[in-house]
Amino acid sequence: MITKKLFQSATGCTIICMLFILNSSKAQVDLNKLKTVDLGEIHGNFQGNAQYYIPDSTIGANEVPERMLFNGFANILYTKGKFTAGLRYENYLNALQGYPTGFKGTGIMYRFITYKADILEITAGSFYEQFGNGLILRTYEERNLGLDNSFDGVRIKAEPTKGMYIKGFIGKQRSFFTQGPGIVRGIDGELQINQLFPSLADKKLIFGIGGSFVSKFQEDEDPTLILPENVGSQAIRFNLSRNNFSLNGEYAYKINDPSLDNNFIYKSGNAALIQAVYATKGFALSVAGSRIENMSFRSDRNAQLTNLLLNYIPALNKQHTYSLLTFYPYASQSRGEMEFSTELKYKFKKGSALGGAYGTEVLINYSGSNSLDTTNISPELDNRKKGYTSEYFLIGNQVYFRDFYVELNKKFSKKWKASFIYSYQEYNKDVIQKPGGGMIFSHIGVVDVTYKMNKGALRLEAQNLATRQDKQDWAFLLLEYTVSTNWYIAVGDQYNYGNIHENERYHYYNLSTGYIKDANRIELSYGKQREGIFCVGGVCRNVPASNGVTLTITSSF
């Protein structure tokens, strides 16, 4: 009996083992076959920002109930042949201080699938889009600002023939973890003349034209006002280049669009932008100008700050990276402004008196913005509720911003190089931030010196901001040591040494270290952050004072 059971067990085990081997062999065969099959590719990236907050009443860093806040996301992208699909998972538990309060929780708010074949490309789901320079349409993500105004809908792109490009879409905009109430529709076309006509392909003069139309629909739910439910905007543009010279411009027009941004006036809006560049070896000159009037454009007339923006007003001023140069950042004024910018870059040749052994590069930039020349209409005469009139080609008397900037970059030897910067700025805090700030005049100087060692490098950054307004003079000192291609450590201090209130002369110190390998980066820092305005490309947000430990991890695959 025992022998029979053992035999039955052994037989069963043998059968099971044989079946397993056969299945494994079959699986191996199938696996070998799969090796020749294109399964597509998966790519993506991850970022996580965590901060542990430590209260500090001296700088106004209030206690955070959770103590630790976290922002994180992961993008996954799959491609196979003509198909592309992707999604982004986001986590705000809870969002870092200074981010819009609507970012709270977790979810997948960005997901799409795209099919591209022959002359068509079709996307269903989430997407970003820009027409021309963005005067009537630009949706994009700027994670540092907490801005994401992507569309959820359908987009079609077509290239009927070489040199002709057409795209159109319909959708709703993302509003944190939901969608805005407005429906947005748009179409854009572009003709690159030299590509369109083969006889012009070899010509030195390259010319292109384009046009766009965007409209939004939002129901009128106001019991007192008669608000337009359909608001249309249109734009035309051109680009021209020959040899070392290029010129491009765009003009946009928007019908009356009463909103919270313009105090619900029934006045049309318009915008014009022109840019010219001449560049050759060792020399470049650019000039740009714009006029913006009543061009706030959102898919929700009641939205504020950076939420549900449809268009983008380019800031023509120089975009700075050094901390004290960004102390008073300029934000584009969609209600109305006249802005200009000119920049000259020249490199003195090697071996010349000013060029030295390695050459010397000089950059000069001057930019600014003024109000429009407007006249308010008295309420009793303003039957159409247009608010004001304006002279198109006249510049208003009110200065919004000025920046005169000079930068000199010099390499002294194989081991030593340095940058020297001076900037004079005028900043109308009443207009750009809030009433009561007044006009601020400041002088900023920066010296950035790098010494390259056999292994790694040492960099010293010294900055000074001098002003008699606001909190007066500031200084910043940073020492950064790059241990190797993988490791670095930095220590810095921003000090309000000129504050007339001696008990408010605070040090904002910071210590950070990081490790970089391939597409992976880990950074750990500890220190204080002053309260202020943080801007990217003329779009800004308020950043509260903070103190604590921050961990940032990024990775791509």
Calculated CA dihedral for residues 302, 306, 312, 314, nearest 10 degrees: 130
Beta strands in 317-469 (DSSP E): 336-348, 360-376, 388-411, 416-428, 439-452, 457-467
552/323 Cα distance (integer angstroms): 20
* Torsion sign across C-alpha atoms 499, 504, 505, 506: negative
Give the pLDDT mean for 454-482: 95
- Comparing 538 with 335, which gets the higher pLDDT? 335
SS (H, E, C) 154-186: EEEEECCCCCEEEEEEEEEEEECCEECCCEEEE
Q: What is the identity of the amino acid at 494?
A: Q
pLDDT at 20 over 50: no
Residues 555 and 522 sit within 8 Å (Cβ to Cβ): no
| pLDDT at residue 36 in the model | 59
Predicted local distance difference test score (pLDDT) of residue 457 = 94
Mean pLDDT over 286-307 rounds to: 96
Using alpha carbons only, what angle is made at residue 494 by residues 488 and 497, rounded to the nearest 5 degrees?
A: 155
- Cα 454 to Cα 213, 262, 451, 478, 483, distances in angstroms: 58, 59, 10, 22, 10
pLDDT of residue 18: 34
246: tokens are 């290029």
Query: Which pLDDT score is estimated for 7?
Result: 37
pLDDT, one tens digit per residue, over 57-84 is: 999 999 999 999 999 999 999 999 999 9
The SS3 of residue 53 is strand
Per-residue pLDDT, 265: 96
For 333, the 3-state DSSP assignment is coil
Residues 104/97, Cβ–Cβ less than 8 Å: no
pLDDT tens by residue, 104-144:
999 999 999 999 988 999 999 999 999 999 999 999 999 88
What's the CA gap between 400 and 83, in Å, rounded? 48
Note the pLDDT of residue 357: 87
Find out whether 548 and 51 touch, Cβ atoms under 8 Å: yes
User: pLDDT tens digit string along 398-457?
Assistant: 999 999 999 999 999 999 999 999 999 999 999 998 888 899 999 999 999 999 998 899
Q: What is the pLDDT of residue 170?
A: 98
Residue 31's pLDDT is 46
pLDDT, position 309? 97
Per cent of the chain over pLDDT 90 is 80
Contacts made by residues 156-162, CB under 8 angstroms, sequence distance 24+: 156/120, 156/121, 156/122, 156/123, 157/120, 157/121, 157/122, 158/119, 158/120, 158/121, 159/119, 160/119, 161/196, 162/195, 162/196
Q: What radius of gyration do the chain's Cα atoms show?
A: 29
Phi, then psi, of 369 in degrees rounded to 5: -145, 140
User: 474, exposed or middle or buried, with CB in 10 Å at 0-12, 13-18, 19+?
Assistant: buried
Burial of 224 (0-12, 13-18, 19+ CB in 10 A): exposed
SS3 labels along 117-154 = ECCEEEEEEEECCECCCCCCCECCEEHHHCEECCEEEE
The per-residue DSSP string of 97-119 comes to TTS-TT--EEEEEEEEEEEEETT
Task: Report the predicted TM-score, pTM, of the whole model to 2 decimal places.
Answer: 0.88
Q: Could you tell me where the beta strands, DSSP code E, fall in 453-505?
A: 457-467, 474-482, 487-495
pLDDT band for position 10 (50/70/90)? very low
Instruction: Give the residue among 218, 236, 235, 224 at the shortest CA–CA distance from 298.
Output: 218
> Tokens standing for 383?
């039957």
The contacts found for 274-280 with CB under 8 angstroms, 24 or more apart, are: 274/247, 274/248, 274/249, 274/250, 275/247, 275/248, 275/249, 276/245, 276/246, 276/247, 277/245, 277/246, 277/247, 278/244, 278/245, 278/246, 279/244, 280/244
Q: What is the 3-state secondary structure (H, E, C) of 210-258?
A: EEEEEEEECCCCCCCCCCCCEEEEEEEEEEEEECCEEEEEEEEEECCCC
Band (pLDDT 50/70/90 cuts) for residue 93 is very high
- C-alpha distances in angstroms, 294 versus 227, 270, 396? 16, 7, 15
